[in-house]
């Protein structure tokens, strides 16, 4: 008796490749229809290339500088001109009293403040070797380091042929620098306050960017639309819980920064809490706007990441803001994180008051109102 062995049926390799090809074509068609995802594929590497190639500069130049002239003399004007002719400093303010001198540093309007004291030229002529006082905002050690190193050489070489400077083996005057707010150049004092804004930006954007699209995909939006509720009420109902979440996050990060890393809190805790709440609400409003534009949760996430990327690169968190070109700084001024970094570093490290931070507070409020108006206008009372 013969037994028949079962022979395997050969697979149709042609059918396998046809099905794979059909699936490949289907994915390309779906990608073509999802214009937001397709735009992200093109825009993210393009934006990164442009920002890192043109906007990011780890050796910043043209840093905003204030000069306090305690005397009107030929030597004082020579020093001022020498500073203006360097590539490191951009004299944006000429002040005449120490109050304005300190206010500009506290409000982050300038990174350097140079004081030419009274009777400076007379002391130089007599060979007394007076001191040229330089106050530096050292909250960002990277931005200030290279300019501080070059300050003495640049100014002294520019004054070699000045008649007021006597000939001698040593320098006619000394440059006395005072690194304010972070004299030890501790990077944690700069990074930890910045992490508050960075983490809040990422989490708040994602939370609210998914809010409306999640309702649509789950089918619960129809129930909301059937209720007697306005778009403003829906938006506030979705945003307020996350304000509390963001406030808890900010409190946790600031508390750990003070306890573990020794970050000081020199300013008002109440002011920091109020302006942090404003920043949280601004990001939630932006995220809610994305949720009204996106058609699904994937698109909402992609929009959030696309907005988060320039916030990280152009706000001054990773790279010195003052060293960026003017067009990059203009873009940075439109980002909430730029203003909040100045606020949180100003309050914690400088003891800044509301008067010093009014520009950034008003900017955050303006961005929040714009985002809310766009979100309300985009919100649809009916499903497509």
pLDDT of residue 40: 66
Question: Who contacts 250 (Cβ-Cβ below 8 Å, separation ≥6)?
Answer: 196, 200, 276, 280
Pinpoint the residues of the chain covered by CATH 3.40.1710.10. Answer: 63-180
Cα-based distances in Å from 87 to 59, 60, 139, 349: 11, 9, 21, 28
pLDDT in tens, 275-301: 999 999 999 989 888 888 887 788 888
Residue 380 predicted with pLDDT over 60: no
**Percent of the chain scored above 90 by pLDDT?**
17
**Residue 321 near residue 315, CB atoms below 8 Å:** yes
What's the predicted TM-score (pTM) here?
A: 0.80
Higher pLDDT, 183 or 153: 183
pLDDT of residue 168: 58
**Helix 297-314 vs helix 269-293: angle between axes, to the nearest 10 degrees?**
140
Distance CA 268, CA 288 (A): 30
Residue 111 CA neighbour count, 13 Å, CB half:
23
**Percent of the chain scored above 70 by pLDDT?**
82
pLDDT in tens, 226-282: 777 777 777 788 888 888 888 899 999 999 889 888 889 999 999 999 999 999 999
Residue 25 CA neighbour count, 13 Å, CB half:
6
- Cα-Cα end-to-end distance for the chain: 71
Which tokens in the block code for residue 360?
């950034």
Residue 382 gets the label, from left (phi > 0), alpha (psi -120 to 50) or beta, of beta
CATH 3.30.470.10 applies to domain 63-180: no
Question: Who contacts 183 (Cβ-Cβ below 8 Å, separation ≥6)?
Answer: 138
10 Å Cβ neighbour count for 275?
23
Residue 316 gets the label, from left (phi > 0), alpha (psi -120 to 50) or beta, of left
Higher pLDDT, 362 or 377: 362
| Short-list 381, 357, 377, 380, CA closest to 369 | 377
DSSP structure class, residue 24: H
């Amino acid at each position: 008796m013969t037994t028949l062995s079962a022979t395997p049926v050969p697979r149709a390799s042609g059918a396998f490749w046809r099905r794979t090809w059909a699936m490949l074509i289907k994915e390309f068609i779906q990608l073509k229809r999802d214009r937001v995802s397709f735009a992200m594929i093109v825009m993210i590497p393009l934006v990164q290339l442009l920002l890192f190639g043109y906007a990011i500069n780890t050796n910043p130049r043209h840093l905003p500088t204030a000069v306090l002239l305690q005397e009107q003399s030929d030597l004082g004007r020579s020093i001022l001109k020498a500073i203006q002719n360097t590539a490191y400093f951009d004299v944006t303010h000429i002040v005449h009293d120490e109050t304005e001198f300190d206010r500009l540093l506290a409000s982050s309007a300038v990174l350097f403040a140079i004081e030419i004291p009274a009777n400076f030229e007379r002391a130089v002529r007599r060979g007394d070797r007076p001191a040229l006082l330089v106050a530096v905002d050292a909250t960002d050690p990277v931005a200030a380091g290279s300019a501080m190193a070059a300050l003495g050489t640049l100014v002294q070489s520019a004054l070699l042929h000045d008649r007021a400077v006597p000939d001698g083996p040593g320098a006619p005057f000394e440059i006395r620098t005072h690194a304010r707010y972070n004299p030890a150049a501790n990077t944690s004092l700069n990074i930890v306050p910045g992490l508050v804004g960075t983490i809040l930006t990422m989490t708040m954007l994602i939370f609210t960017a998914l809010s409306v699209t999640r309702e649509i995909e789950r089918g619960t939006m129809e129930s909301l639309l059937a209720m007697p509720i306005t778009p403003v009420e829906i938006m506030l109902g979705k945003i307020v819980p996350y304000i509390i979440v963001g406030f808890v996050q900010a409190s946790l990060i600031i508390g750990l920064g003070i306890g573990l890393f020794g970050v000081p809190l020199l300013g008002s805790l109440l002011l920091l809490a109020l302006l942090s709440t404003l920043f949280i609400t601004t990001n939630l409003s932006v995220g809610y706007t994305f949720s009204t534009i996106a058609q699904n949760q994937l698109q909402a996430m992609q929009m959030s990441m696309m907005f988060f990327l320039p916030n990280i690169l152009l706000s001054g968190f990773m790279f010195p803001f003052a060293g960026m070109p003017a067009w990059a700084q203009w873009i940075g001024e439109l980002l909430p994180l730029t203003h909040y970094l100045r606020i949180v570093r100003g309050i914690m490290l400088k003891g800044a008051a509301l008067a010093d931070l009014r520009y950034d507070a008003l900017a955050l409020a303006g961005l929040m109102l714009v985002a809310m108006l766009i979100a309300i206008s985009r919100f649809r009372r009916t499903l497509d």
